[in-house]
Amino acid sequence: MEITYLGHSCFKIVKDGFALILDPYKTDSVPGLSPLKETANQVIPSHKHDDHFGLGEVKLSEMRADTPFMISFIPTFHDEKEGALRGLNNVIVIDVDGLKIVHMGDIGCMLTDEELQFIKKCDILMIPVGGFFTIDAEQAREYVDIIEPKITIPMHYSGKTFGYDVISGVDKFTKLFDEKDVLVKGSVIEFDEAPQDRKVYVMRPLRAEREG
């Protein structure tokens, strides 16, 4: 299985030739990110804001293929006031080949104990860390401590050349972990089997201009 971090909260997951894209952003909706220009078999947004709902930016593949992914959702809120500020959000849960991948979307609230139990000890957790529109770095760390994922991939943060000015950079999140548990990765990672160690993978957004 191959996971590509395209930028912001957008990931492309490919397994057995089937490509799934999560939270595609519309062109010009996220400063510093180039248009997606991607092809996939399936596209799933967590909610309908432009930076997560760019369905038209992804061309659906003409090649028919059976999906290896089993998808489920946890309905949540984009804010701590039950959606009154920013609306609804879905946590996307993907089961594939014995692995559980959880994409938190623009989570802005705490899940219930029952919901947390459903995703506890997942293999890969994709979680926003930038704050303002979503949970912030400290709240994301709290989620990681509760869920205990094997791999945590931060998303929805700003960098020198990309992202919203009002959200923080990834360093605010990574500094909450032991330095040895934070690994800097490229834009693509591959998994041949379930990861064993609890680590934070900081991936480089593929569609962002390289930072000096």
Three state DSSP letters for 81-112: CCCCCCCEEEEEEEEECCEEEEECCCCCCCCC
Residue 212, pLDDT > 80, answer no
The reported pTM is 0.94
What is the model's pLDDT at position 211? 55
Least confident of 80-84, 100-104, 122-126, 128-132: 80-84
Report the candidate in 132, 139, 140 with the shortest Cα–Cα distance to residue 166: 132
152: pLDDT strictly greater than 60: yes
Model confidence pLDDT, tens digit, residues 199-210 = 999 999 999 976
110-150 tens-digit pLDDT: 999 999 999 999 999 999 999 999 999 999 999 999 999 99
pLDDT by residue (tens digit) across 163-188?
999 999 999 999 999 999 999 999 99
Neighbours of 185 (CB within 10 A): 15
**Domains in the chain, start-ordered, CATH in brackets?**
2-202 (3.60.15.10)
Which H or E element spans position 127?
strand 124-128
Rounded CA gap, 25 and 196, in Å? 31
Burial class for 180, CB neighbours closer than 10 Å (0-12, 13-18, 19+): exposed
DSSP conformational letter for 208: B
Which residue matches tokens 């930076």?
A: 51
**φ, ψ for residue 140, nearest 5 deg:** -65, -40
193 vs 148: which has the higher pLDDT: 148
* Residue-level length of the chain: 212
- Given a cut of 90, whether residue 81 has pLDDT beyond it is no
Average pLDDT in the chain = 92
Cα of 73 vs its chain's centroid, Å = 14
Closest CA to 67 of 101, 13, 18, 3: 18
